[in-house]
Amino acid sequence: MFLSTGLSVSEILIYLMEVFGGLGLFLYGINQMGDSLKTIAGDRLKVFVEKTTNTPLKGILVGALVTALIQSSSGTTALTVGLVRAGLMSFPQAVGVILGANIGTTITSFIIGLKIEKFSLIFVGIGAVLIFFIKNEKIKEIGKIIFGFGLLFFGLKLMGDSLNAILTAYEEEAAATFKVLADFPILGLFIGIILTAIVQSSSATVGIVQTLYAQGSIALMGALPILLGCNIGTTITACFACVGGGVQAKRTAFVHAMFNIFGAILFMILLWPYAQLVGIIERTMLAGLGVHPEMSIAVAHMIFNVVTTLILYFLIGIIVKITNKIIKDKPNEEQTILEELLDYSLIEKSPTLALSFAKKSVDYMGKCVSDYTLIAKSYSFDNNKNYINDGAVLEKTINSLDKRIHDYLIKLTISDLNESNSHLLSVYLDTIKDLERVGDHCTNILEFFQERYDTDKVLSEDGKQDLEQIFDVLLEMVNLTIDSFNAWDLNKAQEVDAYEQQIDKLEEVFHQRHVHRINSGACSYLNADHYVEILSNIERMGDHLKNISDNILTDEYCKYDEYDH
């Protein structure tokens, strides 16, 4: 069969290798462009998305813009998931960004429609010069963008030439195959889904469809179902990425899939008028402008995403309710926090966002320590076994958070963080160490009182009043310190020092009063057991809380603003 067409087996293999090689260059080029654009944008990309998406409409516009810049709807979706999980964006806002990301991803098909592959190696050469001969890092990144841009078109040209050679050699068979796709659109839909799921890039699938359509190998009625299928196939990557992830990751992937499945079904039902509309635009507007046939597929891709977005924009509230109902919050708060706030994949993708995750995790650890301190005080005056059980759960949670946040931050140290973020990371490491020590002192106090209750040792009335007074000051200090850390509140942090001095004085005075009670016989040596250690533990808790406030008040920390960084 091969010989009758003038193509040998070796020639067929060579052409197929060129197709796969071209696909590889295309994928590498588009990923290189996106990665370098994200590097240049740096921290500003995260802040831009976070601060400009306070309404769903703004979210759509921002999602489209960011995806057009980084050339990856999956990248925009990952960034959005991160902001939601870090508590910096609400889920309804995220839905708007996801809808917009689908519009932004059509930009690639318009770039391909420019038909400038004849200049692709010039771009590759210019990019290589900037990468290897320029020392400035930003210029190097710009070089990588140009290099990726050139590889994208060179890979597309290599793919297109090889496909054209094969299809020309088997013109009759190819025509029969593509006629089947036109007659049975559902087959084209599944081909688009499968091909995109395999190469994990809807842009690559759209590029292939554009090439085939420009060569005249496939009719519009055969090309459009493949185009619709690639929109569903691109959600496979997001679905795989959220396996084992947190609730918000699954909700985001669900919305992403819902958007594309809904749109594909709608446009498959309206396939004939959809094809007629694209055909009219091609014959009138595009032909008049003298653009290449590839642009017709780009326009069709844009119509699909814009129309689907417009329809779903008015249903965002319903989408959020349905998603929340299908994917419910987990009852285990600790496990949810650990899943939601410690995403190792973001350490490489967005170190700044990963640091925001760490901050939220430390905030939660502080809340656990505050709750544990209250339990320690309550158990000191009420022999309720529930306090022991609740305390054991919090102790385990605090220790687990300490280890996991520490490991996360250490992993983050190898990332490319700027000086300000590096200082923040150091502050977080010190803070979790101090919080863990406060938790240890709470455990000591519970154990002291558990032993006292087991041996029927009771506090004297004066000793009880003194202990209650110093505990009240400690609780105020705990809440003030945690609040100042959580909210970047320097005024509250400045107030912590006065509480620490007060605790030191009370510990000294109450220690002396305790000795006086023993000497006067108001308190027996037996009942006095552990009292001094309890006061000492409270004083040390104050020292650790003071350490946290001191870190907040450093010049480097004061200059940092999480929302204007």
Q: What is the mean pLDDT of residues 209-217?
A: 80
Alpha-carbon span 159 to 17, nearest angstrom: 9
More confident residue, 328 or 547: 547
Domain for residue 553, yes or no?
yes
What integer pLDDT is reported at residue 158 of this predicted model? 82
What integer pLDDT is reported at residue 69 of this predicted model? 67
Q: Are residues 322 and 341 in the same domain?
A: no
Residue 205: which pLDDT band, with cuts at 50, 70 and 90? Answer: confident
What integer pLDDT is reported at residue 3 of this predicted model? 42
Alpha-carbon span 151 to 449, nearest angstrom: 71
Q: Are residues 242 and 358 in the same domain?
A: no
Q: Are residues 283 and 343 in the same domain?
A: no
Q: What is the mean pLDDT of residues 203-225?
A: 82
Q: What angle do the packed helices 351-381 and 333-341 form, to 10 degrees?
A: 160
Q: CATH number for the domain including 511?
A: 1.20.58.220
Mean pLDDT across the chain: 79
Instruction: Kindly report, residue by residue over 466-520, the tens digit of the pLDDT.
Output: 889 999 999 999 999 998 888 877 888 888 899 999 999 998 998 888 888 777 7
Q: Are residues 86 and 184 in the same domain?
A: yes
What integer pLDDT is reported at residue 107 of this predicted model? 76
Of 296, 326, 356, which one is at a domain's C-terminal end? 326
Burial class (CB within 10 angstroms; exposed 0-12, middle 13-18, buried 19+) of 104: buried
Q: What is the mean pLDDT of residues 251-265?
A: 85
Q: What is the mean pLDDT of residues 453-475?
A: 85
pLDDT of 344 over the 80 cut: no
Q: Answer whether 256's CB lies under 8 Å from 238's CB.
A: yes
pLDDT of 154 over the 80 cut: yes
Domain for residue 565, yes or no?
no
Instruction: Kindly report, residue by residue over 416-451, the tens digit of the pLDDT.
Output: 677 777 888 888 999 999 999 999 999 999 988 888
Residue 565: which pLDDT band, with cuts at 50, 70 and 90? Answer: very low
Q: Are residues 375 and 274 in the same domain?
A: no
What integer pLDDT is reported at residue 51 of this predicted model? 63
More confident residue, 132 or 293: 132
- Rounding to the nearest 10 degrees, give the CA dihedral for residues 464, 470, 473, 477: -130
Domain for residue 533, yes or no?
yes
- Rounding to the nearest 10 degrees, give the CA dihedral for residues 497, 500, 504, 507: 160
Q: Write out the H or E segment, with its range, that includes residue 199.
A: helix 185-199
Q: Write out the H or E segment, with its range, that includes residue 2.
A: none
Q: What is the mean pLDDT of residues 382-387?
A: 87
Instruction: Kindly report, residue by residue over 67-108, the tens digit of the pLDDT.
Output: 776 666 666 776 676 666 655 667 777 788 888 887 887 777
Of 326, 343, 367, which one is at a domain's C-terminal end? 326
More confident residue, 25 or 85: 25
Q: Are residues 363 and 319 in the same domain?
A: no
Secondary structure (DSSP) of 451-463: HHHHTT----HHH
What integer pLDDT is reported at residue 369 of this predicted model? 93
Q: Are residues 262 and 389 in the same domain?
A: no
Overall pTM surpassing 0.75 (yes/no): no
Q: Cα dist. 133→126, 129, 140, 293, 374 in Å?
A: 11, 6, 9, 38, 62
Domain for residue 174, yes or no?
yes
Alpha-carbon span 394 to 371, nearest angstrom: 8
Of 300, 326, 352, which one is at a domain's C-terminal end? 326
Domain for residue 563, yes or no?
no
Which residues span the domain enclosing 465? 335-558
Q: Are residues 131 and 41 in the same domain?
A: yes
Q: What is the mean pLDDT of residues 154-181?
A: 74
Q: Are residues 420 and 488 in the same domain?
A: yes
Domain for residue 564, yes or no?
no
Q: Are residues 53 and 135 in the same domain?
A: yes
Domain for residue 459, yes or no?
yes
Which structure tokens are listed for 265?
């079904």
Q: Which residue has the tokens 């010049």?
A: 555
What integer pLDDT is reported at residue 376 of this predicted model? 92
Rounded to the nearest angstrom, the gap between the alpha carbon of residue 348 and the centroid of all alpha carbons in its chain is 11
Please name the amino acid found at residue 493.
A
Alpha-carbon span 172 to 57, nearest angstrom: 49
Q: What angle do CA 221, 222, 223 make, to 5 degrees?
A: 95
Domain for residue 185, yes or no?
yes
Q: Are residues 319 and 349 in the same domain?
A: no
Alpha-carbon span 219 to 480, nearest angstrom: 69
Q: Are residues 466 and 390 in the same domain?
A: yes
Residue 299: which pLDDT band, with cuts at 50, 70 and 90? Answer: confident
pLDDT of 381 over the 70 cut: yes
Alpha-carbon span 466 to 506, nearest angstrom: 8
Instruction: Kindly report, residue by residue over 527-550, the tens digit of the pLDDT.
Output: 556 788 888 999 999 999 999 988
More confident residue, 339 or 34: 34
How many folded domains does the chain comprise? 2
b/e burial code for range 236-261 (CB count within 10 A of at least 16 → b): bbbeebbeebbbbbbbbbbbbbbbbe
Which structure tokens are listed for 107?
């930009």
